[in-house]
Amino acid sequence: MKLSKAWRLGVKDVEPMLPPPRHRGQSKKPTWIIVLVSLVCMFLVVSYIYPPQTSGACNIFSASRCQTFSSWLPTFIRELSDEEIASHIVIKNILNTPPIESKNPKIAFMFLCVRSLPFEKLWDKFLQGHEGRFSIYIHASKGKPIHTSPYFVNREIHSDKVEWGTISMVDSEKRLLANALKDPDNQHFVLLSDSCIPLRDFDYVYNYLMYTNISFIDSFSDPGPHGSGRYSEHMLPEVEKRFFKKGAQWFTMKRQHAVIVMADNLYYTKFKEYCKPGMDGVNCYADEHYLPTFFNMHDPNGIANWSVTHVDWSERKWHPKSYEKKDISEQLLKNITSITESVHVTSEERKETMIMPCLWNGLNRPCYLFARKFLPETLDSMIDLFSNYTTKT
Ligand SMILES: *[C@@H]1O[C@H](CO)[C@@H](O)[C@H](O)[C@H]1NC(C)=O
Ligand SMILES: *[C@@H]1O[C@H](CO)[C@@H](O)[C@H](O)[C@H]1NC(C)=O
Ligand SMILES: *[C@@H]1O[C@H](CO)[C@@H](O)[C@H](O)[C@H]1NC(C)=O
Ligand SMILES: *[C@@H]1O[C@H](CO)[C@@H](O)[C@H](O)[C@H]1NC(C)=O
């Protein structure tokens, strides 16, 4: 329930700067040059401190230029702290060390749920016949689930309470990753919720994730109140505002990336302390910002920037669309699986829409392997349709 107080950008916006009143005859040439030069300097300094957000300043340039506007302003080289140097070197080394090749590479499916998984029967159908190529992990935050599929029996990990929107959500993701990493055959890690369904058959999902060297982590720049507006300067100096990103939490991660998440304490602590509901009057949700920002800082080209889990925000409400039984049809699933562009919408008043082709190894591919949010009442229809929609790819 991510309700948040309305707050307005622009409070900090630059006061309109009017030129000083002119007095005829008084201004000599050098004076107006000095005034002009200082105005330009002030503009540069002010735009560096307050990069353009909702203001019309962006419109001077084309929309795409706008984002890089602050990048051609001078960047000050900062001396890194001991802890940062240590962190950077650990991350760099892990990224530069090729992962140990497994003879039996598996995908770890990691489920974050409250209790039982409504779609276990559907996942059972998805997994059947592929034994040995996957592992299941379940983080159930409120008690032991009842299982309907043998693949899920005894796959719960030690779990803890999860409060939506707080760091405990990130903690549960880290707990799942840590447990899944214990099996050296797990090469790719998929985080799923209890309202997620598979959109493709197992082989398609396996090949899509296994034969790529990137992680599908959602990460985009949202200059609006629900993006950069949630940034706190307490995160400085390690996390600068220009690196602060947003993205849905439902990731898939290659093994190296899962390991660097385990190795990080520095950035995790910054988000734990300064990205939380009610921080300086702003509701910041660590699960929507920590990983998108962390990977943007440390391996921007190693992540796809979109999530392979589809969700429909087109109703523009506080919550994405929940699919009911009456919504389920082969056409709906066909529509979702045929999407080849990812869409991000900013939270500014003008709601800028950013469309990006889902490129993978130079090829434009369908974007999605999974989808949410499906209500439990859709289970039977999904099972009836499963063979139909997954074979027609
Ligand atoms: C993801 O976004 C970052 C930041 O905008 C960019 O540097 C990176 O190249 C993007 N990654 C891919 C694979 O396009
Ligand atoms: C992934 O592989 C492609 C092609 O082999 C290569 O160009 C690219 O640099 C690799 N990316 C990463 C993040 O390793
Ligand atoms: C599928 O997409 C088509 C074309 O955009 C649209 O007209 C139709 O309503 C969609 N159907 C479903 C069930 O979403
Ligand atoms: C699945 O496809 C078959 C053949 O096209 C069709 O006869 C059947 O009705 C479909 N099943 C559902 C549940 O739509």
385 lines ligand 4 (CB under 6 A): yes
Where are the domain boundaries for CATH 3.90.550 in the chain?
Answer: 82-305
| Pick from 59-63, 104-108, 126-130, 332-336: least confident | 59-63
pLDDT one-digit tens code per residue, 263-273: 999 999 999 99
- To the nearest whole number, what is the mean pLDDT of the chain? 83
Higher pLDDT, 336 or 45: 336
CA of 334 to the centre of ligand 3 (A): 9
Closest CA to 286 of 320, 249, 241: 249
Residue closest to 226 by CA, chosen among 48, 351, 94, 391: 351
Between the CA of 332 and the centroid of ligand 3 the distance, in Å, is 7
Any idea which of 1-5, 78-82, 122-126, 225-229 has the lowest mean pLDDT? Answer: 1-5
Q: Each residue of 146-200: pLDDT tens digit? A: 999 999 999 999 888 888 889 999 999 999 999 999 999 999 999 999 999 999 9
pLDDT, average across residues 329-350:
91
Ligand located closest to 383 CA: 4
Nearest atom of ligand 3 to the alpha carbon of 332: 13
Q: Look at ligand 2, atom 14, and give the residue with the nearest C-alpha.
A: 213
Task: Write the pLDDT tens digit of every residue in 200-258.
Answer: 999 999 999 998 889 999 999 988 888 887 888 888 888 888 999 999 999 999 999 99
How far is residue 275's CA from residue 292's CA, in Å, rounded to a whole number? 13
Q: In what order do the strands lie in the sheet with 197-198?
A: 197-198, 370-371, 309-310
pLDDT band at 366 (very low <50, low <70, confident <90, very high): very high
Cβ–Cβ < 8 Å for 311, 218 = no
248 in contact with ligand 2, CB cutoff 6 A: no
Higher pLDDT, 80 or 112: 112
Going by C-alpha positions, the residue among 12, 11, 7, 19 that lies closest to residue 47 is 12
383 membership: H or E segment, kind and range: helix 379-391
Ligand 3 lined by 326 (C-beta under 6 Å): no
> Which of the pair, 10 or 294, is modelled with greater confidence?
294
Residues 285-305: what's their mean pLDDT? Answer: 95
Which of 312, 335, 338, 385, when mutated, tests ligand 3's pocket best, judged by the most ligand atoms within 8 Å of its CB?
Answer: 335
CA-proximal residue: ligand 4, atom 1 (nearest) = 388
Cα 9–Cα 348–Cα 322 angle in degrees, nearest 5: 125
CB atoms within 10 A of CB 247: 25
Tell me the helices (H) and strands (E) count for the chain, helix number first: 11, 13
10: left (phi over 0), alpha (psi -120 to 50) or beta: left
The pLDDT, as a whole number, for residue 60 is 40
In this prediction, residue 361 carries a pLDDT of 73
pLDDT of residue 360: 76
Pocket of ligand 1 (CB under 6 A): 296, 300-301, 304-305
Positive or negative torsion for Cα 250, 208, 328, 331: positive
**pLDDT at 185 (0 to 100):** 97
Mutate to test the pocket of ligand 1, among 303, 308, 342, 360 (most ligand atoms within 8 A of CB): 303
pTM value is: 0.81
Whole-angstrom CA distances from 336 to 199, 200, 332, 378 are 8, 11, 6, 16
DSSP state of 146: P
CB of residue 388 inside a 6 A radius of ligand 4: yes
Q: Round the CA-based radius of gyration of the chain to a whole number and report it.
A: 24
214 ligand 2 Cβ < 6 A: yes
Where is pLDDT greater, at 294 or 58? 294
- Whole-Å CA distances, 12 to 16, 49, 68, 69, 327: 12, 11, 21, 19, 44
pLDDT in tens, 48-70: 555 444 333 444 444 444 445 55
DSSP state, residue 103: S
Strand locations in 194-345, DSSP E?
Answer: 197-198, 215-218, 252-254, 303-305, 309-310, 341-345
From ligand 4's centre to the CA of 320, what distance in Å?
29
Atom 12 of ligand 3: nearest residue by CA position? 332
Bigger pLDDT: 175 or 10?
A: 175
| Structure-derived torsion over alpha carbons of residues 92, 98, 102, 103, reported in degrees to the nearest 10 | 170
Residue nearest to atom 4 of ligand 3 (CA): 335
Of residues 347 and 31, the one with the higher pLDDT is: 347
Band of pLDDT at residue 100, cut at 50, 70 and 90? confident
Percent of the chain scoring above 90 in pLDDT: 56
Say if ligand 4 is within 6 A of residue 330 CB: yes
Nearest CA owner, ligand 3 atom 2 = 335
Cα 331 to middle of ligand 3, angstroms: 7
Measure the CA–CA gap between 191 and 313, rounded to whole angstroms. 20
Q: CA 57: distance to chain centroid?
A: 27
CA dihedral 258, 259, 263, 267 (to 10 degrees): -30
Per-residue confidence (pLDDT) for residue 95, from 0 to 100: 95
What is the CATH topology of the domain spanning 82-305?
Spore Coat Polysaccharide Biosynthesis Protein SpsA; Chain A (3.90.550)
Look up residue 156 and give its two tokens.
């719960």
Does an H or E element contain 363, and which? strand 363-364
Query: From the CA of 301, how far away is ligand 1's center (Å)?
Result: 5
pLDDT at 48: 53
Instruction: Establish whether residue 301 lines the binding site of ligand 2, counting it when its CB lies within 6 angstroms of any ligand atom.
Output: yes
How would residue 125 be classed by pLDDT, with cut points 50, 70 and 90? very high
Instruction: Average the pLDDT over 70-88 and give the result.
Output: 77
Residue closest via CA to ligand 4's atom 5 equals 388
- The DSSP result for 197-228, as a single string, is EE-S-HHHHHHHHHT-SSEEEE-B---STTTG
Q: Is the dihedral of CA 157, 163, 168, 170 positive or negative?
A: positive
